[in-house]
Amino acid sequence: MSSLIPAYVDGVLVPVDKLEVHQRGLRHPAVSVFVMQDNRMLLQKRAAHKYHTPGLWTNACCTHPHWGERASACATRRLDEELGLRGLSIRHMGVIEYRADVFRGLIEHEVAEIFAAEVHGPISMALNPDEVDEVAWVPLDKLEAALSHSPERYTPWLRIYMAQHREMILGHRAGGETVSV
């Protein structure tokens, strides 16, 4: 696995190999997208062969932008690449910075641009098996109970997002800035 992503080294944003970013725990830009339908959140189960957090449940998609890529364009691209979701209107909800041990000493230290989308009615998806094993629409009350009772089944960032930033993330029902991509 060799792909370059933007990361801060000595305070300067430079391209760094993604695995090295996580091995060194470098602060780096990221994107997280939440997709809601009524009172249910779309979760994906990360592919079992992923190099970190394999087989854990997380929000619709989480990723790193390419060098020079706008966060909103990255969010739209990854919804399509991971889940086959196209044409969603996403809203920028804010920025969250967190640091978490994600797997075998790898560290995510992300400055994550958060996006949310609301879908109505059935949607079609085409899951990318390199990224996603399965998806589920989970009622928020059941998700919160599961995060409390079985946190080890969920990615560290989803646990952080829901425990500390729930109102900002789910606020798309009341507002947020729609992004055209």
Task: Read off the pLDDT of each residue in 1-7 and give the average, rounded to a whole number.
Answer: 79
Residue type, 64: H
Say if residue 163's pLDDT is above 60. Answer: yes
Q: Is 177 a catalytic residue?
A: no
Strands (E), the chain: 4-9, 12-17, 27-37, 40-46, 57-59, 61-63, 90-103, 106-118, 132-139, 177-179
Structure tokens at 6: 């933007």
Full-prediction pTM beyond 0.95? Answer: no
Q: What is the pLDDT of residue 90?
A: 95
Which candidate, 130, 145, 143, 141, places its Cα nearest to that of 58?
A: 143
Say if residue 1's pLDDT is above 60. Answer: no
Q: Is 62 a catalytic residue?
A: yes
Q: What is the pLDDT of residue 181?
A: 38
Catalytic residue among 62, 74, 82, 113: 62
Q: What is the pLDDT of residue 174?
A: 42
Q: Model confidence over 32-68: pLDDT tens digits?
A: 999 999 999 999 999 999 988 999 999 999 999 998 9
Q: How far apart are alpha carbons 121 and 107 in whole angstroms?
A: 37
Q: Please give the domain boundaries of the chain with CATH numbers for all domains.
A: 4-174 (3.90.79.10)
Confidence category of residue 121, pLDDT binned at 50, 70, 90: confident
Q: What is the pLDDT of residue 178?
A: 46
- Mean per-residue pLDDT of the chain: 92
Confidence category of residue 69, pLDDT binned at 50, 70, 90: very high
Q: Model confidence over 72-98: pLDDT tens digits?
A: 999 999 999 999 999 999 999 999 999
Structure tokens at 137: 């629409």
Catalytic residue among 61, 82, 108, 110: 110
Q: How far apart are alpha carbons 87 and 39 in whole angstroms?
A: 21
Torsion from C-alpha of 75, 167, 102, 113, nearest 10 degrees: 30
Task: Read off the pLDDT of each residue in 135-146 and give the average, rounded to a whole number.
Answer: 96
Structure tokens at 9: 């080294």
